[in-house]
Structure 1
């Protein structure tokens, strides 16, 4: 998978797995990662699926309608990539926190939904429920931040509330931050994610 790795100043701070939104690339969330945890190493990945020339992490059938089989396949692919990257770059595989926006937040959520121990935590900016009707792994000890918009046309509030409920039911600690700027990732939301990260991981 196309990616960049930037070594941080602290080996104790979690490695940040950065996952962009539709049409983004591996450079997009580097400033956000640096704001959330300046001392962390950064592993930023580009989605390997193209939709009308725009990189994504998995296919969709329509807006808000995921190709579930491709989602499962790409989630497995990303999970294996993380294992290989930990060996290559010599970081602690058990100390990875995902930071994802939109499509990237959805595949980060899918990692949580499918693989126990895949992530120590996740900052999910404007995510949807990745998959319904499956048994989630035990998420005890996993901390999740959800950044959401009360007027988000892509992820309506009930979608956010359902995701929050499913994660909590599986044992995760979830903090949800609401804004009124639609699907946009705002500076206050980023700063709130940074405060959440400092509270739980440093």
Structure 2
């Protein structure tokens, strides 16, 4: 089957698997928007040269958020895609702080494809912190998230200059969003 047909099948599957999931931000965007943004960033960063990494980007949260069995991803999209998805999937049985620590510690040791998805994911998430933060996130929590994302990305430097620049721009905007504009 043509690999770009598989990309569209993955987008369709991601839409179905995440149909009832919303982003945490005040805009409550469909979660699919995040998955498409991550896939789009990865596609641009690679000039569309690797459909498997685009498919994995679309499916990167399926196991973690929707409990989709990895064998299903393997069956429908192949072992290379499943391997990438598993590489970027957190073990939700661990405490949140432990998962965050592990992401920083393991980032530099991931495959290039997993690094690209992680960079794109952090870029998308930091953009959300700037433009549609969760209503219950204090300024401190937003600041802590940005700092943590920067620490993860620091371990990924050298993967994609273009994508790293996109992250840096998003992080700068997110930091600026923490300070309300001065009344004039």
TM, length-normalised to structure 1: 0.36
Query: Larger % of helix: which?
Result: 2
Q: Using structure 2 for the length normalisation, give the TM-score.
A: 0.39
Greater strand fraction, Structure 1 or Structure 2: 1
| Rg larger in structure | 2
